[in-house]
Chains A and B, each alone.
Chain A
Amino acid sequence: MAELKINALRKSYGDIEILKGIDLHIRDHEFVVFVGPSGCGKSTLLRSIAGLEEVTSGQIVLGGRDITGLKPAERDLAMVFQSYALYPHMNVRKNMSFALELAGVDKATIEAKVKDAARILELTHLLDRKPKDLSGGQRQRVAIGRAIVRHPQVFLFDEPLSNLDAALRVQMRLELARLHHELNATMIYVTHDQVEAMTLADRVVVMNQGRIEQVGTPLELYHHPVNQFVAGFIGTPKMAFIPARVIGGQGHELTIQLPSGEHLTLPRSPDSIHVGAEVTLGIRPEHMRIVSPENANLTGQLDVTEHLGSDTYCHVNIDGGHTLTVRQGGDYEGRFGEIVGVDFDLSRAHLFDSEGNALDSVTRQAA
């Protein structure tokens, strides 16, 4: 059983608290991704799990065993580092067998395990090379191989793809996903790249400033972010935020006023908010449409349009100095400076109170 429980974990460097109370439950066989902006404490959390950092307080329990105070090697975890951290003076075979040798595993078993890992990772023909004679992608695979041969309960990855170029990153991402199915192991993966998080994870842990903001499946995070931070972090291009004020509500509807004066009515229960409250409207680029200015929710001036072929990202400057990014079809042709209307799919819009917490939508309450 490779079930990992983290209870009230705190970590400080001197006076600075880096992890401010982390509670997390990672299930067996799960692929969990820690994501968050750089410096939010993802690596610190991962390294605490690995045993490379001593925690200030709290508890880490793996498969029912309290591992908080154990040495890294006693925890039955393997880690893949961003820099690969291969042993430069050993060839690929040695790099992979080192841990087994230290553990006193017999030669024949080591040989078999290395062969097996090399086959899974397509490294067989490279076994006698030194790390310096390998490409970035190959080094990455050796680093993963080094973890695989040990059959650990949990695999830890700290931004393993960020040193690779974009094309290789996409390829390795697929290989990692495949590997997860093949090994059926528990994996914890750290990245600052939300696309990586969304594509790889069974569940994503969004972190910010030493705290967990939200834990959920990629789609839960996308559809129901609990706060403005998660909403802004998940999804590309980013969700647009427009400040607004509540001006009325009845039944299941809430009416807000935008800075430019327009009124919008959203499907929200008005119970949790009072008239006059400052709120923030959040709306994703894919939930807006460019329409003719006459009957639109908003009007604005078309700024730059970016053609990706499949989609077109239209940047529209609206009143109050805000820019909305609207996702249009690939064939959309806009004229720079043109006055356009923007229509919102209000059933997909998000609303946040002045603290940034999401005001639950009707659809969510129903779901």
Chain B
Amino acid sequence: MIALSQKQRRVFSQIALTAAAWSVAFIIFFPILWMVLTSFKTELEAFATPPSLFFSPTLENYQEVFGRSDYMHYAWNSVVISMGATLLGMLLAVPAAYAMAFYETKRTQSTLLWMLSTKMLPPVGVLVPIYLLFKESGLLDTRTGLILIYTLINLPIMVWMIYTYFKEIPKDILEACRMDGATLGQEISRVLLPMCKGGLASTVLLSLILCWNEAFWSLNLTAANAAPLTALIASYSSPEGLFWAKLSAVSTLACAPILIFGWISQKQLVRGLSFGAVK
């Protein structure tokens, strides 16, 4: 009798837990769902209160967005800038993390903390100096400029992540590699990097996502030439008042590539981000 009720209680708590998990997931997912739904509504339906759940979907927003702006231009900028900044970031972060993880000094920890602390500074605080620097050096509205600034923004996180992955590698293995006659380059490329390829992949993914979604600097430092998708979205929100449906359509278009990308690589991302925990 008691055993049965215990079992029942367990089943019940399992159901409750599942329900709770689904609710949380739904709450997180809801804005995206709503955005996608709205993008298929007419402007009128998009405004309606109470919101209409059943409507005949239309593609007119998408047609208008494609008609009015050169989506591919912005998308290509986003791709080039995200990949460029990620590549440059990795080229800088791997050697930095290597030095910190395997040749630790008493200042390494504080250097790491200091690097991370730069992330706590509100970006707007350095907007004017950066803007002026960019203007003077001709970097305004160039993809190079954005690649540089994104690299610098993400570098602390990338170094920190790669540092933690490197820390998991026993020093012995690198020493064995040195005994085996590997040069520093071979040691890193043939032993160290393959050993943390999961972690490196998630660092790359995270950097790509962060670059793709960055809006503050892209809005302030680009105009037409180097503007990525985030700037395209913004261009739909300000000048002519708010057009929810078109804004949703352009947002959906901007998010779609990275969402699909993230979906495909989510396993990798989760494994990388919980490296130490699972192993």
A52 is an interface residue with CB less than 8 A from chain B: yes
Residue of B nearest to A103 (CB): B181
Known A99-B180, A103-B181; judge A87-B173 contact (CB<8 A).
Answer: yes
State the majority secondary structure of interface residues on A: loop
Contact: A73 with B180, CB < 8 Å?
yes
Within 8 A of A (CB), among B175-190: 175-182, 186, 190
B195 is an interface residue with CB less than 8 A from chain A: yes
CA distance A78 to B191 in the complex (A): 18
A77 is an interface residue with CB less than 8 A from chain B: yes
Which listed residue, B170, B173, B181, B194, touches A99 by the CB 8 Å rule? B181
State the majority secondary structure of interface residues on B: helix
Residue of B nearest to A87 (CB): B191
Q: How far is the CB of B272 from chain A (nearest CB, A)?
A: 16
CA distance A72 to B186 in the complex (A): 15
A50 is an interface residue with CB less than 8 A from chain B: yes
Within 8 A of B (CB), among A292-347: none
CA distance A103 to B183 in the complex (A): 11
Contact: B182 with A52, CB < 8 Å?
no
A85 is an interface residue with CB less than 8 A from chain B: yes
Contact: B176 with A79, CB < 8 Å?
yes
Residue of A nearest to B194 (CB): A89
Instruction: Mark B179-214 against chain A: 1 for CB-CB distance below 8 A, else 0.
Output: 111100010001100110000000000000000000
Which listed residue, B170, B172, B180, B195, touches A98 by the CB 8 Å rule? B180
Contact: B181 with A79, CB < 8 Å?
no
Residue of A nearest to B169 (CB): A88
Classify chain B: how many residues form its interface, as a range. Answer: 10 to 19
Contact: A102 with B180, CB < 8 Å?
yes
- B191 contacts across to A, CB distance below 8 A: 87, 89
Known A85-B172, A102-B186; judge A73-B178 contact (CB<8 A).
Answer: yes
Known A73-B181, A99-B180, A102-B181; judge A89-B195 contact (CB<8 A).
Answer: yes
A81 is an interface residue with CB less than 8 A from chain B: yes
Contact: A85 with B170, CB < 8 Å?
yes
Contact: B175 with A52, CB < 8 Å?
yes
Residue of A nearest to B172 (CB): A85
Contact: B195 with A81, CB < 8 Å?
no
Q: How far is the CB of A54 from chain B (nearest CB, A)?
A: 13
- A78 contacts across to B, CB distance below 8 A: 179
A83 is an interface residue with CB less than 8 A from chain B: yes
Which listed residue, B176, B182, B190, touches A85 by the CB 8 Å rule? B176
- B179 contacts across to A, CB distance below 8 A: 50, 52, 72-73, 77-79, 99
CA distance A77 to B178 in the complex (A): 11
- A77 contacts across to B, CB distance below 8 A: 179
CA distance A49 to B251 in the complex (A): 63
Q: How far is the CB of A116 from chain B (nearest CB, A)?
A: 18
CA distance A73 to B170 in the complex (A): 19
Instruction: Mark A48-60 against chain B: 1 for CB-CB distance below 8 A, else 0.
Output: 0010100000000
- B173 contacts across to A, CB distance below 8 A: 85-88
- A99 contacts across to B, CB distance below 8 A: 179-181
Residue of B nearest to A102 (CB): B181
- B180 contacts across to A, CB distance below 8 A: 73, 98-99, 102, 146, 150
Residue of B nearest to A156 (CB): B179
Q: How far is the CB of B201 from chain A (nearest CB, A)?
A: 14
Among B170, B172, B173, B176, residue most surrounded by chain A Cβ atoms (within 10 Å) = B176
The 9 closest A-B pairs by CB, nearest first: A73-B181, A99-B180, A85-B172, A85-B176, A81-B172, A102-B181, A89-B194, A85-B173, A72-B179
Q: List 30 A-B contacts (CB under 8 A).
A: A50-B179, A52-B178, A71-B178, A73-B178, A73-B179, A73-B181, A73-B182, A79-B176, A79-B179, A81-B172, A81-B176, A85-B172, A85-B173, A85-B175, A86-B173, A87-B176, A87-B177, A87-B191, A87-B195, A88-B195, A98-B180, A98-B190, A99-B179, A99-B180, A99-B181, A102-B181, A102-B182, A103-B181, A146-B176, A150-B180
Residues of B within 8 A of A (CB): 170, 172-173, 175-182, 186, 190-191, 194-195
